[in-house]
Each structure stands twice: as C-alpha cells, then as structure tokens.
Amino acid sequence: MKEDRCPKCSNSEIKKGIIHAGNGVVHMFPYDNPKSRSSPLTSYYCSECGYVLAIYVENPKNLEK
C-alpha cells in the first residue's frame, strides 16, 4: 500500500486487518463462478480514527478460472 498517512486524521500508524463476519473470515468469489476457489478480504485501517484506507483480495490468483 502506498499511503503512509490517514487521509482523514493524518495519523501515521496504518494497520492491516482481516474482515470477519459471523463465525468466519469474509471471502471473495468470482461473480460468474461462486462455487470455485475464493480468497479472504484484507484491509488497511487507521489505528487512530478507524478509517478504512483499502480493502483488497488477499490471493487474486485464486479467483482466476
């Protein structure tokens, strides 16, 4: 990730997190094949104000056909 400061509060402590829902990690599936391989969604967030700077697919190659 290129950003080293929060655009909302200018804090420099950006952390990596896993997005959880219910009992497990949230996964991305290909739109046209939802029963194929998946990848967890990961995010970067500001440790001061909680602003989410990015959400991305951890293993995008898993989503290829």
| Res. 1 pLDDT band, cuts 50 70 90 | low
Distance CA 48, CA 18 (A): 17
Residue 28 phi, psi (nearest 5): -100, 135
Q: How far apart are CA 49 and CA 47, in angstroms?
A: 6
Average pLDDT, the chain: 90
Domain ranges of the chain: 14-63
Dig out the tokens for 59 from the structure.
Answer: 């293993």
Q: Are strands 39-46 and 20-21 parallel, antiparallel or unpaired?
A: unpaired
Gyration radius (Cα) of the chain, Å: 14
pLDDT at 47 over 80: yes
- Specify the pTM: 0.76
